[in-house]
Amino acid sequence: MLLLCNYYLTYRCNAFCEFCHFGIHENFKDTPFAKLEDFKSNVSQLASLGVKFIDLTGGEPLLHKDIHLMAEFAKNLKMQTSITTNGLLYPKFAEKLAGKINLLHFSLDSPDEEEHNKIRKVNCYSHVFKSIGIAKSLGEFPDILFTVTNETFKKLPGMHQIASEQGLMLIVNPVFSYFGNPGLSNEAMDFIEEYIDGKPNIYMNKGFIKLRRDGGNNISDPKCKAVSRVVVISPYNEIILPCYHFENERIKIDRPIKELRETEKLKYFKKMEGKFDFCQGCTVNCYFEPSFAFPTNYYALISLTSKFKYGYNKLVKQKIKKKIKS
């Protein structure tokens, strides 16, 4: 059952984060932007195939001049839309994006301005807070996204304090072992789990930590659903298989996506999802979030409490705040 589309609008980025590869890799500097007409065609087809969520991603998605038109188009198809941004360009698009993004995430890597800017290798700390202020003034309810690493996990209390002071949710995004990053240490995982337990305004999918403690995906008993539940589309108008992070093959979208989903090649990747040699030990959050969407295994079951907590904060509390303001 298809749930999610990770739509890479561009591979370009205007930051150079230590834990990522887009901004620092020369190969992405001059890559294309997704064409609006391709986007509309693809997203219309995905909606008819049952996709409910679309992540407008990159690179930095706000580098795309038509980002607001794309968000509006997907939202009109009753899709839940999400964007994660470093905040540098949000003020430019804020009014155009207002009401079109269900999950608006501003990335913040440290409560300390100098450390955040050092990690991002660009001065964007103040832009995050400026963007939060603008978003809230427009009636938006953004989240602060903290990609936690072995170097920054002890900054979690300070990050939580900032989110609480802003009246926002803090999403803890555990770094995964990719791009040469070793992933989280046991010390980091212990600290995170102990701190988060029972605290309001802070969310992390508990299944992510359990998966890491168990050594990641096991190809003999895979939990990954990267092909059956996720469609990954590149700025080149291609479907990437089995996923972006371990790209093995790209299929040009030159015919209806439904037909492509029924080809022998795609059936093969679906059959092999989570079973390739490179899938061993994988903990990439982008694919395990939808993989844990239904309570079909232990990871999915322990994810439920986290999801309920986030849903309560995002839906119930937001409705209460809106009523108070009105």
Model-wide pTM > 0.75: yes
Q: How far apart are CA 244 and CA 238, in angstroms?
A: 11
- The average pLDDT across 239-257 equals 93
| pLDDT level of residue 321 (50, 70, 90 thresholds) | low
Q: In whole angstroms, how large is the CA radius of gyration of the chain?
A: 19
Structure tokens belonging to residue 249: 């093959």
Q: Which residues contact 324 (CB under 8 A, 6 or more apart)?
A: none
Q: For residue 172, what are its two tokens?
A: 């803890």
- pLDDT per residue as tens digits for the range 29-45: 678 999 999 999 999 99
Is residue 26 scored above 60 in pLDDT? no
- Domains belonging to the chain, first-starting first, are 4-325 (3.20.20.70)
Tokens of 200: 């309001």
Distances (CA, A) of 146 to 138, 149, 266: 23, 9, 34
Predicted pLDDT of residue 248: 81
Higher pLDDT, 18 or 256: 256
Looking at residue 314, what is its pLDDT?
73
At 68, is the pLDDT very low, low, confident or very high (cuts 50, 70, 90)?
A: very high
- When pLDDT is cut at 50, 70 and 90, the band that residue 324 belongs to is low
Across residues 15-36, what is the average pLDDT?
A: 72
Q: Of all residues in the chain, what percent carry a pLDDT higher than 90?
A: 77
Predicted confidence at residue 320, as pLDDT, reads: 62
Q: What pLDDT digit, counting tens, does each position of 119-168 carry?
A: 888 999 999 999 999 999 999 999 999 999 999 999 999 999 999 999 99
- 72 versus 322: which is more confidently predicted? 72
Distance, CA of 198 to CA of 211 (rounded, Å)? 21
- Asked if residue 275 has pLDDT above 80, the reply is yes
